[in-house]
Amino acid sequence: MKANDLDTLQAPGRPSVHPTDDVAVVSVTRPDLGADAYVGQLWTVPLDGGAPRRLTRGFRDSAPRYSPDGAVIAFLRSSPGEPAQLHVVASTGGEPIAITAERLGVSAFAWSPDSSSLAFTTRVPEQGRYGTVPEISADAEAPRRFTTRTYRANGVGYTTDRRSSLFIVEVPDLDAEPVVRPLPERSGEEAPETALVPVATRLTDLDAEVSGPVFTPDGSAIAVVAALHDTRDVDRVSAVYAVRVDGSGEPERLSSDDAPRSIAAAAFSPEGQLHVLAQELGPAGVDFVARNTSLYRMSSPDAPAVVLTDVADTDIGEVADIAFTTDGSVVFLNRSKGAVRAERLGFDGTRTPLTSHTDVVTSIDAAGERIVAVVAGESDSGEVAVLGGPDPVRLTDFSRSVRDAGVLPIERHAITGRSGQVVEGWLVKPAGDGPFPTLLMIHGGPFAAYTGAFFDESQVYADAGYAVAYCNPRGAAGFGEDFGRSIKNAMGTVDFEDVMDFFDGVVAADDALDADRVGVLGGSYGGYLTAWITAHDHRFAGAIVERGFLDPELFVGTSDIGDFFGDEYVGTSAEDIARQSPQAHVRDVRTPTLVLHSADDLRCPLSQAERYYAALKRNGVEAELVVFPGENHELSRSGRPRHRRDRFDVILDWWARVLPV
């Protein structure tokens, strides 16, 4: 695979299974280099093995969900340069109908149990901001005043002046004539004259974010995840609240109040019991480091939560999807040792794996006893599959164009390090006999994980002639909380040891790898560890430090997570910060270094890169700084398609200079 093959990467989103028929609907999205945008449509996939059929032809259609009666599909549609709006279409096909026209677009939605209405969340801008008054440009807006520690989010920008709010809207009769009616007012804004959308009712107007809407079983309220408690500005705690559909009363807490937790998702079982995916946060509500996400059943705010999965060893944090079968079993995704495995938890507590220990499941849904997932493999970016038998039964072949472009084999390795720690990872090599220059690639997080599934990064570099080794060192997710928490206040210790031991072991075991021609690269926490490595090991011909966490001291007050991330990982004392800071050790770097960053990165702000780059130049190290305009922390995953291609070109140009094939 080459950088120009990016637009062959067709990725199915979360499927939705029809409540009674043997069919699912899924969005399939790809980066389009010509349009410099992500495009996609909805496809129906017969579960009996019939041919998938394209259902819609919008510019970007995503997130489809069948109504409970199966008659209608709701989904999000984006036009070029416009935010996503909620649409509905008959499940048999036809012309989709827009039912929202929100200025900042719709972020999430849910069906009512009787299929008559949809709840959705959208950011509502303050009057005079974000184009609410056409004559007022962004530079001419009134000054912003902040009293909270958190007021920005990566990929969003300022949040306190455009809070996420909950709305409800009736679904029109798809067979009736469209009704032209006034748009509702938004925060005092003058309504346009007319629009072909129904009037939505706003249900929340809170100085807090609300997310993950889901109707209560009786349809009288909508459950949302929010932080509404008094100390929400100093902890990471959230809860599930019920908001009545008639707008009466205040949000009512539904989730258990027995321990500080951060809730990722909520759902109701067929029996009507609240289930949540949540992390324990310790007594102070801030200790998020390497906390596994577990499944809980919560009967009331006053009753203790019942944990249904092993908190120490099961992690449902990679994909916050849960689904229920008719018998009340819960289907969830467990991140484990470089895989994401679908599992079924029976009401009696019996856990049954639905996929293998190497499969990577990216999303799931269930209806009745039918369980459908998107499963990624070594040569595809995900295919729709039916689960329940010995192996997933793949129903689609959206990745055929990826394989046609060329996919190199992925080798799995387990290396025992000097301390006896077994480090698991992968190797992708170019075609031929070698010897090949070899790259050590390091993941972000740090509580994240590489998998053995198809990965565009390793494929592009290997196609260019470089062997690529990558692994999950201590600090990574999927190996238990103790493994992940081993680098708390110890960054750059055992994690550094593990990646070097893995690299040494893989290179020593394969004559096709050239131990004398090596490079190292990584992004985010991987950028941190890359910078740490080059300050302590000088064997590498070059390094790429991308969107790195490089200066914990500067992180506070500049990053959208700066009020807690560094405190919990490296500590708060000057001695602890300096001991674990790449910026404090930059004087020891001699390796030629490319510093790559995005201008609008609020997770690891541009100042992290600029200060590190300036120190390299001041110290006489060969260095280059590349900044991508308009991009944030997600450049390599969801940045503009042409910028993603440009990024690959920049990286390969750097290796061609410092580590030529």
Average pLDDT, the chain: 95
- Give me the pLDDT at residue 194, please: 46
Please say if the pLDDT value at position 643 is more than 60. yes
Tens digit of pLDDT for each residue in 565-622?
999 999 999 999 999 999 999 999 999 999 999 999 999 999 999 999 999 999 999 9
- Give me the pLDDT at residue 317, please: 84
- Give me the pLDDT at residue 180, please: 58
Please say if the pLDDT value at position 183 is more than 80. no
The share of the chain scoring above pLDDT 90, in percent, equals 93
C-alpha–C-alpha distance, residues 286 and 169, integer Å:
36
C-alpha–C-alpha distance, residues 418 and 631, integer Å:
40
**pLDDT category, 348, cuts 50, 70, 90?**
confident
3-class state of residue 461 by DSSP? helix
Tens digit of pLDDT for each residue in 452-470?
999 999 999 999 999 999 9
C-alpha–C-alpha distance, residues 78 and 423, integer Å:
43
Element at 166 (helix H, strand E): strand 164-170
Written as six digits, the tokens of 73 are: 């599909």
Written as six digits, the tokens of 393 are: 């039964």
C-alpha–C-alpha distance, residues 3 and 31, integer Å:
12
C-alpha–C-alpha distance, residues 491 and 553, integer Å:
14
As to burial, measured by CB atoms within 10 angstroms (0-12 exposed, 13-18 middle, 19+ buried), residue 42 is: buried
Please say if the pLDDT value at position 179 is more than 90. no
Written as six digits, the tokens of 321 are: 């999807």
Considering only CA atoms, which of 319, 325, 365, 366 is closest in space to residue 339? 319
Tens digit of pLDDT for each residue in 380-424?
989 999 999 889 999 999 999 999 989 999 999 999 999 999 999
Please say if the pLDDT value at position 279 is more than 80. yes
- Give me the pLDDT at residue 184, please: 54
Tens digit of pLDDT for each residue in 516-555?
999 999 999 999 999 999 999 999 999 999 999 999 999 9
Residue with tokens 């004392």: 573
Considering only CA atoms, which of 394, 381, 398 is closest in space to residue 459? 381
**pLDDT category, 175, cuts 50, 70, 90?**
confident
Tens digit of pLDDT for each residue in 191-206?
444 457 899 999 999 9
Contact assessment for residue 532 and residue 492, using Cβ atoms and an 8 Å cutoff: yes
The amino acid sitting at 259 is: A
Tens digit of pLDDT for each residue in 291-338?
999 999 999 999 999 999 999 999 998 788 899 999 889 999 999 999
> How would you write 429-453 as a 3-class SS string?
CCCCCCCEEEEEEECCCCCCCCCCC
**CB neighbours of 543 closer than 8 A, spacing ≥ 6?**
519, 520, 521, 530, 531, 533, 534, 591, 592, 593, 594
Contact assessment for residue 522 and residue 532, using Cβ atoms and an 8 Å cutoff: no
Number of alpha carbons in the 13 Å side-chain half-sphere of residue 521: 25
DSSP assignment of 343-368: EEE-TTS-EEE-S-SS-EEEEEEEET
The pLDDT of 208-216, averaged and rounded, is: 98
